[in-house]
Each structure stands twice: as structure tokens, then as C-alpha cells.
């Protein structure tokens, strides 16, 4: 029933938003109300998975351990982003940056974006999952070009073309994985359990080719190097609340697809091949992102490259396996919260300074005292400074790889140190000093502060204490994936 409620709400909410003729407050009320219902329903579904091992609505919609973890991320960050969006766009409307019609367009597409992600998580069919992830591309492409600037239009087209081509490769890999089940004559839509049971006789060479296509295809959506080129442009041009969802949520949904196929590939050809492939792409992503972060001049692009780095860390964790895989699962959660904190905080900075260039932001701690502190907390969290949980997950991932892959581990550790130095340099440049005389001091509203504070509270809480239910879900998912 919980999955039915989520899907129904996400179908009704965009329709109601589209029918709204005036009043941004009504659009905000619909968005916050819908996302709150989704969050409550997701918590119910996740609890059922922890209790029963799975949660089924129909034979085509179900939730397993890994899906429950990702759904929890989508529901929490989706609620916070929706809440923040209300105040953010009220300020932009008051500044006459956008009008009511643009706000309505944003909320309609936001609901459809969340619908596509929830459906990708819960569908039991690989083809429908591919369709849902492709739908996330279509729904967000229009939002990336939201402000109708030439650079935003270019970013949207780049996002649309690169992701569509990448997902087409992922679709080819999906078809290769489905061939054994089709050959055996399974009726109806082929589910993940059917794929798992049919690949034992899969030709190893074909299975390797199929998994390469899957990693390249869905890795494009994840932002793994060298398929990452769309990500910095798209995330830096999109409205800030959407950027928090793109970096904090969508990348995990795409990674979920890779992990589902990894479990099947491991049955067909053993775990060695998939692990080495993930280590390869993971290390390259960390190294490239680290050097670009160090010389970055735009703080939204800085956060986008940080997402590429952390997807690389997660890939390393699953590549190393064992304790590294458990830490990678937990890292997904920590990264989603920390990156959303940073993007939403950067939204307040953008509203104040009307620029995303680091050189144009001085004295943010004085101009926006609360936001400045929140941004610094986000910086400390995302770079893995104790006591935040990312320190523990990064340490666990590197510890898991030091014996089996010492060179890779040392290279990754060096890159992480470079990331910290670069992030520190940029954060200090933005936060300290004196703001310009044309910058009015003070926060905008509670609506742009409270969502971030709640995210920080959750992040700090689970950094010190992982709830038993969440720990069980991560342990169970790690055993499978």
C-alpha cells in the first residue's frame, strides 16, 4: 500500500500543480504536502523491508534491501529540497528573476522527476528501470535550462545528448543480460530474480561485454570518468534545489542500477571482473575530480566535481568488497546528506551575491552568518573530517583496499588530501574577508535555513549512531551486492 500511495501522490501532485492558475504559495503547499506523504510512506515501506526482507505491491513493484536504502535517501532529500524550494523561489519571484509560470513549471517537473526515481527503485523489470532512469533525463533537462541563458541551454543539450547516448549503451548491456532468460522462454516481464536464476549458463565473454556496457551506460548517469563531462555544467546551471537532488539523489539511483547488474554478473563470471572494473573507473574519477577541484573557480561546479569524486569513492568501496562494500553503502547516505547541505547553503549564497564565481563571493560568513556556518559544516563533512561519518567510511574503504590494491589506495588517499586542500582554499576565500558595500547583511528567511539545519542534524546523528534498522538494511544489502 505504501508504494501505491507514493506513486499515486506523485501522479496527482504534478496534475494539481499544472492546474494551479496563480499563487506560488499553493504550489509550495502541494509540493511540501506531497513530499511529506512520500517520506512517511517510504518510511513505512522501508520498515516492512527490514522486518520481512522485501516489500511487494504487485509483481512489478517491489522493494529489497538495497532499494530500501536508496528510497530512504530519495524520500528524505526530496522532502528537504521541496521545502527549501518554496522559500527559494519566493525570493527569486520577489526579485523578479522569474515569474509564476516558471515556478509552476519547476514544481510540475520536480514531481515527475521524483516519480521517475521512485519507479526506477521499485520496478522489478530491468527494461522498466531503464525507462524510468531515462525519464529522469527528460524531466530534468528542461529544469537545467530553467533560466533560459545560453550557457544553461548548452548545458541542458549536453546533458540530454550525453546521457541519452550513455543510457542507450546501458540498454544494449541490459538486453545482453536478458538474453539467457529470453532463450529459456520465461513468460511476461523478466524480473531481477528471473535474471539471477537464468545467468548460470551465460557465456562468460558475453557477460563481461554486457557488464562493460552497463557500467559505461549507467556510469554516464552516475558521473564516472570519462563519462562525467555533462555533470559539472548541468549541476551548475540548474536551480539550486534541483542541483541538490541531482548530486545527492539521482547519482545513487543510477548506481543502484549498476549494483543490480553487478550481482548478476558476479553469478555469471565471478566477482573479480566487476570489482576490477569498478576500481578502475572509481580511481580515475577520484583523481580527475581532485585536480579540477583544486583549480576550480565556480563554487557550484566545485560541488559538482565533488560528487564525481565521491561516486568514485563509492565505486572503489564496492570494488574492494567486504568491509569496503559496507562502507560504500553507508557512504551513499552520508554523501547525499552532506552534498545537499552544501548545495542548499550555496543557494543562499547565490541569492545574496547573484554570482556563482568564487572570486565574487567575499565575507559570506559576515553577510550570511548562519548560512556561512552551515556551509563550513558541510565542507568539513564532505571532505571527511572527524567526527562526521564520511571520515569513517573513507577510512574503511581505504583500509579494505590497502592489502589487495596498495597502489590504488595510496593514489586515492593522495587525491583525497588534494581535495581537502582545494576545498579549504575555496571555502576560506568565500567565507572570510569583508563583503562588498552593496551586499546587505542578514539571512533571507527561516525557510532557507531550517531545511539545511535538519539535514545537518540527521547527518550528525547518524555519524555517531546508526539506527539498528538502517544498519541491518546495509548489512543485508552488502551481503547480496
Residue 351 belongs to what domain range?
2-480
pLDDT in tens, 108-163: 999 999 999 999 999 988 999 999 999 999 888 888 888 888 888 888 888 889 98
Rounded to the nearest 5°, which phi and psi values hold at 441?
A: -85, 145
Determine the pLDDT at residue 145: 85
Determine the pLDDT at residue 231: 84
Determine the pLDDT at residue 185: 67
Q: Tell me how far CA of residue 301 lies from CA of 126, 176, 234, 304, 305, in angstroms.
A: 32, 36, 9, 5, 6
pTM: 0.93
Q: How many whole angstroms separate alpha carbon 381 and alpha carbon 405?
A: 26
Determine the pLDDT at residue 117: 94
Determine the pLDDT at residue 458: 94
Preceding peptide of 171 cis, ω within 30°: no
Determine the pLDDT at residue 380: 94
Angle at 335 between CA 74 and CA 475, to 5 degrees: 75
Q: Per the structure, how many domains does the chain have? A: 1
Q: How many whole angstroms separate alpha carbon 6 and alpha carbon 318?
A: 30
Q: How many whole angstroms separate alpha carbon 240 and alpha carbon 232?
A: 13
**Whether the Cβ atoms of residue 145 and residue 156 lie closer than 8 Å to each other:** yes
pLDDT tens track of the chain, all 481 residues?
788 888 888 889 888 888 888 777 888 889 999 999 999 999 999 999 988 887 777 778 888 899 999 999 999 999 999 999 998 888 888 888 888 888 888 999 999 999 999 999 999 889 999 999 999 998 888 888 888 888 888 888 888 899 889 999 999 999 888 887 777 667 667 888 888 888 777 888 888 999 999 999 999 999 888 888 888 888 788 888 988 898 889 999 999 999 999 999 988 888 899 999 999 999 999 999 999 998 888 998 999 999 999 999 999 999 998 889 999 999 999 999 999 999 999 999 988 888 888 888 888 888 888 999 999 999 999 998 988 999 999 999 999 989 889 999 999 999 999 999 999 999 998 888 777 767 777 777 788 899 999 999 999 999 999 999 999 999 999 888 7
Amino acid at each position: 500500500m505504501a508504494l501505491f500511495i507514493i506513486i499515486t501522490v506523485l501522479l496527482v501532485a504534478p496534475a494539481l500543480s499544472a492546474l494551479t492558475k496563480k499563487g506560488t504559495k499553493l504550489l509550495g503547499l502541494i509540493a511540501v504536502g506531497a513530499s511529506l506523504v512520500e517520506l512517511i510512506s517510504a518510511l513505512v515501506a522501508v520498515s516492512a523491508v527490514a522486518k520481512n526482507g522485501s516489500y511487494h505491491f504487485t509483481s512489478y513493484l517491489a522493494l529489497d534491501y538495497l532499494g530500501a536504502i536508496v528510497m530512504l535517501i530519495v524520500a528524505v532529500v526530496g522532502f528537504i529540497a521541496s521545502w527549501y524550494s518554496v522559500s527559494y523561489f519566493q525570493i527569486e519571484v520577489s526579485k523578479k528573476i522569474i515569474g509564476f509560470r516558471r515556478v509552476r513549471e519547476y514544481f510540475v517537473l520536480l514531481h515527475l522527476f521524483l516519480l521517475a526515481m521512485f519507479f526506477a527503485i521499485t520496478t522489478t523489470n530491468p527494461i522498466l528501470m531503464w525507462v524510468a532512469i531515462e525519464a529522469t533525463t527528460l524531466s530534468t533537462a528542461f529544469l537545467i535550462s530553467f533560466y533560459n541563458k545560453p550557457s544553461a541551454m548548452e548545458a541542458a543539450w549536453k546533458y540530454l545528448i550525453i546521457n541519452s547516448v550513455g543510457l542507450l549503451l546501458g540498454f544494449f548491456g541490459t538486453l545482453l543480460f536478458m538474453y539467457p532468460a529470453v532463450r529459456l522462454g520465461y513468460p511476461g516481464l523478466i524480473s531481477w530474480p528471473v535474471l539471477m536464476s537464468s545467468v548460470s549458463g551465460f557465456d562468460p565473454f558475453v557477460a563481461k561485454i554486457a557488464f562493460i556496457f552497463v557500467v559505461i551506460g549507467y556510469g554516464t548517469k552516475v558521473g564516472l570518468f570519462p563519462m562525467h563531462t555533462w555533470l559539472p555544467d548541468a549541476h551548475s546551471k540548474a536551480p539550486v534545489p534541483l542541483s541538490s537532488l541531482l548530486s545527492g539523489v539521482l547519482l545513487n539511483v543510477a548506481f543502484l542500477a549498476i549494483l543490480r547488474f553487478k550481482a548478476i554478473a558476479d553469478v555469471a563470471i565471478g566477482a573479480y571482473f566487476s570489482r576490477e572494473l569498478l576500481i578502475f573507473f572509481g580511481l580515475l574519477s577520484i583523481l580527475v575530480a581532485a585536480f579540477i577541484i583544486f583549480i576550480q573557480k565556480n563554487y557550484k561546479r566545485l560541488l559538482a566535481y565533488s560528487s564525481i569524486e565521491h561516486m568514485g569513492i563509492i565505486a572503489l568501496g564496492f570494488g574492494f568488497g567486504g568491509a569496503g562494500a559496507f562502507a560504500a553503502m553507508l557512504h551513499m547516505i552520508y554523501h547525499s546528506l552532506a552534498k545537499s547541505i552544501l548545495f542548499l547553503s550555496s543557494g543562499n549564497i547565490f541569492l545574496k551575491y547573484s554570482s556563482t564565481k568564487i572570486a565574487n563571493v567575499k565575507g559570506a560568513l559576515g553577510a550570511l552568518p548562519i548560512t556561512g556556518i552551515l556551509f563550513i559544516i558541510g565542507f568539513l563533512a564532505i571532505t571527511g573530517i572527524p567526527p562526521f561519518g564520511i571520515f569513517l567510511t573513507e577510512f574503511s574503504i581505504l583500509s579494505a583496499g590497502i592489502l589487495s590494491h596498495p597502489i590504488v589506495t595510496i593514489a586515492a588517499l593522495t587525491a583525497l588530501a588534494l581535495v581537502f586542500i582545494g576545498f579549504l582554499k575555496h571555502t576560506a576565500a568565500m567565507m572570510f574577508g569583508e563583503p562588498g558595500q552593496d551586499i546587505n547583511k542578514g539571512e533571507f528567511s527561516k525557510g532557507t535555513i531550517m531545511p539545511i539545519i535538519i539535514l545537518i542534524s540527521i547527518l550528525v546523528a547518524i555519524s555517531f549512531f546508526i539506527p539498528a534498522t538502517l544498519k541491518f538494511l546495509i548489512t543485508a544489502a552488502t551481503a547480496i551486492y
